[in-house]
Amino acid sequence: MSNINSAARLRQFQKLLAQRKLDGYVVSRPVDQGFLTGYHMEGYLLLVGLKKAWAFVPDMFVDQCREVSSSCNVIGAADQRGSLLAVLKAEGMKKVAFDSEAESYSSGESWKKRGLIAEIPFAPILRETKDDGEAAVLAKSCKIAITAYKKLLPEIKPGMTENQIRARLEYLMSILGAQGPSFNIIVGSGSNSAKPHHITSERKLRNNEALLIDFGCKYGNYCSDITRTIFVGKPTEEFRKVYGIVDRAQKAGVKAVCAGVGCFDVDKVCRDIITEAGYGDKFTHTTGHGLGLEIHEFPRLSTKSDVILKEGMAVTVEPGIYLYGKFGVRIEDSVLVTKTGCKILTR
């Protein structure tokens, strides 16, 4: 986690300000604040100027914020907006923007009345690709998740509820160093595995049925995302057939990921294999998504995307086939895009 260089990120952000001829930017989205400062806590405001940055935090956060974020001037403030506006005046900052997507209408109007400009968020531009430090933390997050899953596998048996399996997996990830799950873990047994976003329940796992587990953890605030589908008991011929198709599509999708390749093309590789096998209408979601500090980030691997993959992007590849009332199969890995292909992080 110490490889994350917040000072370098702030400098990159300041370059974006200069390019857009802005004196400053008010960052109010917690994930972007954490990205730029290393201090991941809700309830504060961040002002980034061309040369300096200020974090306006509740008094009880001051010491902790200073310890984590040496690149910012940390100011304890009961009235964060008032303190921020005072700094703008003292520093002579005239052309200052705020994140139009993060603020409510009333909050945005309040900033405008004080002379600030509504702008698109800038931090997500920097978050598109991961530097070496981020990639290492993300890889560790993925390693924790897949290791926990491998430890869980021998423990899974008929009679366990979906929630028991989920809780055990969360526990195993936590003792391996995870901060917690990166999203609400999906455990779908039997016919529940055919619901792509099933809500984990008290249903008991039975012998001779499918079990789908979609899981991940947070480590150093970075999210991993993995899906595995197994069959408890003796697999049916239909399950073997469907699993084989999804496995082939997923492997082909991973092989297609490379810097310079379109997200549309990766989706098409997976979708074509499933469609040609006669299950096109049973693949009901996109092939993948970006991930990092958030579980769903830019870009999306979909039929509607015109985005070209860049070196350093982290994405999932997760095709699936869902036979409602019977079972579903999804296989998902998180990968890091490279110049010549990709590195699978979830092995």
DSSP calls for 214-267: EE-EEETTEE--EEEEEEESSPPHHHHHHHHHHHHHHHHHHHH--TT-BHHHHH
Amino acid letter, 122: F
User: Which residues are CB-contacts of 109 (< 8 A; sequence separation ≥ 6)?
Assistant: none
Its pTM surpasses 0.85:
yes
Per-residue pLDDT of the chain (347 residues; tens, 9 = 90+): 445 678 899 999 999 999 999 999 999 999 999 999 999 999 999 999 999 999 999 999 999 999 999 889 999 999 999 999 999 999 999 999 999 999 999 999 999 999 999 999 999 999 999 999 999 999 999 999 999 999 999 999 999 999 999 999 999 999 999 999 999 999 999 999 999 999 999 999 999 999 999 999 999 999 999 999 999 999 999 999 999 999 999 999 999 999 999 999 999 999 999 999 999 999 999 999 999 999 999 999 999 999 999 999 999 999 999 999 999 999 999 999 999 999 999 99
Q: What is the DSSP letter of 332?
A: B
Place of tokens 């900033």: 111
Domain annotation for the chain: domains and CATH numbers:
6-126 (3.40.350.10), 132-344 (3.90.230.10)
Give the separation between CA 77 and CA 236, rounded to whole angstroms: 63
- What is the C-alpha separation between 347 and 342, in angstroms, rounded? 13
| Integer Cα distance of 214 and 200 in angstroms | 10
